[in-house]
Each structure stands twice: as structure tokens, then as C-alpha cells.
């Protein structure tokens, strides 16, 4: 269990505060609705206040439309890139649905073997970080001011 008094523990606690929030594309309102990016945006606001940039509208299938590594590039502007093998609780993880597509899903690692994420058709939930997720992991990032 991550200590909530540490910077990483504060990230995990903030993410867990979103548990049960219904899925809603492009939303980022705790308890009302969010998508996977909205969850990470909400955690950012919980930690730092105002979001660092305005999010443009995006379709549910933007990654399949050949838009490049949009999600990873946005993360690199505000988070610190890590080798995915070095991810620790409190880090943001990005996933590719298919090897030839850009990263299109994000989650927060909350325990070494658990992630918290929002996905279509369900509420924000904490799930096992199993082989399927590990095989699709493409990027990892730490929030600013979090020890690496």
C-alpha cells in the first residue's frame, strides 16, 4: 500500500477518489463522468490546480484515424517520461490497443500489480495489471515533482 503522505501516495489517493465515476467521453468531472484522459486530467487538477493546457475535442476513435502519438506527445509536454519497466505506483501508463496504432488509453498505476482507469461502458475501476495490460503498455510517465 502506498503511503498517502508521500507525493506518489497523493497521486494514488487522488486517482482512487475517482472510483465509481461513470464513463463519459471527453468529460472530467469526479462522480459525474470521465474518460481515461479525463481521469488523468482530474488527478492533475487534484494535485496542481488548473490544467496546463486546454484539451481540443476528440472523437472516440481518434487513434485509429492515423493521428500519430498525440496522447504520448501531450503527456511528454507535462509529465516526465519513464521507461515503462520502471513505472511505480503514482505513474501514468499509456497503452496501445494494437501494436501498429498509437497509444490510445491511459491509466494510473496504483499498486505494483493494479491500475485504475476509465473505460467505455463502465465506471472508473481498479483492476489487476495482468499480462494483457502489460503486453499493451507503451509509455510511462511520472507527474512533475514526483521522485523517479
97 in any annotated domain: yes
Does any domain span residue 1?
no
Number of separate domains in the chain: 1
Question: For the chain, what is the radius of gyration of the CA atoms?
Answer: 14
17-46 mean pLDDT: 97
Whether 120 is in a domain gets the answer yes
Instruction: Answer yes or no: is pLDDT of 55 > 90.
Output: no
pLDDT tens-place string over residues 32-51: 999 999 999 999 999 999 99
Residue 148 located in a structural domain: no
Written as nine digits, the cell of 131 is: 499480462
Distance CA 47, CA 43 (A): 6
The confidence score (pLDDT) of residue 58 equals: 72
Q: What are phi and psi of 118, to 5 degrees?
A: -110, 135
- Domain containing 22 equals 7-142
Three-state DSSP class for 14? helix
Per-residue pLDDT at 56? 75
* Interval 81-137: pLDDT, tens: 999 999 999 999 999 988 888 999 999 999 999 999 999 989 999 999 999 999 999
Contact 52, 77 (CB under 8 A): yes
Residue 123 falls inside a structural domain: yes
Cβ atoms of residues 115 and 127 within 8 Å: yes
Residue 42 belongs to some domain of the structure? yes
Q: Is the pLDDT of residue 15 over 80?
A: yes
What CATH number did the domain enclosing 60 receive?
3.90.1720.10
Residue 146 confidence class, pLDDT cut points 50, 70, 90: confident
pLDDT given at position 67: 65
The pLDDT value given to residue 45: 97
Mean predicted confidence (pLDDT) in 5-16: 95
Give pLDDT, residue 63: 53
Amino acid at each position: 500500500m502506498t503511503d498517502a503522505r508521500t507525493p506518489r501516495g497523493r497521486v494514488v489517493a487522488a486517482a482512487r477518489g475517482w472510483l465509481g465515476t461513470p464513463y463519459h467521453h471527453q468529460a472530467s468531472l469526479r462522480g459525474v463522468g470521465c474518460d481515461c484522459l479525463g481521469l488523468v486530467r482530474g488527478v492533475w487538477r487534484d494535485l496542481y490546480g488548473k490544467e496546463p493546457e486546454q484539451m481540443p475535442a476528440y472523437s472516440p476513435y481518434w487513434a485509429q484515424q492515423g493521428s500519430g502519438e498525440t496522447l504520448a506527445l501531450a503527456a511528454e509536454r507535462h509529465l516526465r517520461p519513464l521507461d515503462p519497466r520502471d513505472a511505480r505506483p503514482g505513474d501514468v501508463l499509456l497503452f496501445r490497443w494494437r501494436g501498429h496504432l498509437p497509444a490510445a488509453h491511459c491509466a494510473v498505476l496504483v499498486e505494483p500489480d493494479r491500475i485504475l482507469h476509465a473505460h467505455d461502458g463502465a465506471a472508473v475501476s481498479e483492476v489487476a495489471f495482468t499480462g494483457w495490460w502489460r503486453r499493451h503498455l507503451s509509455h510511462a510517465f511520472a507527474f512533475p515533482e514526483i521522485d523517479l
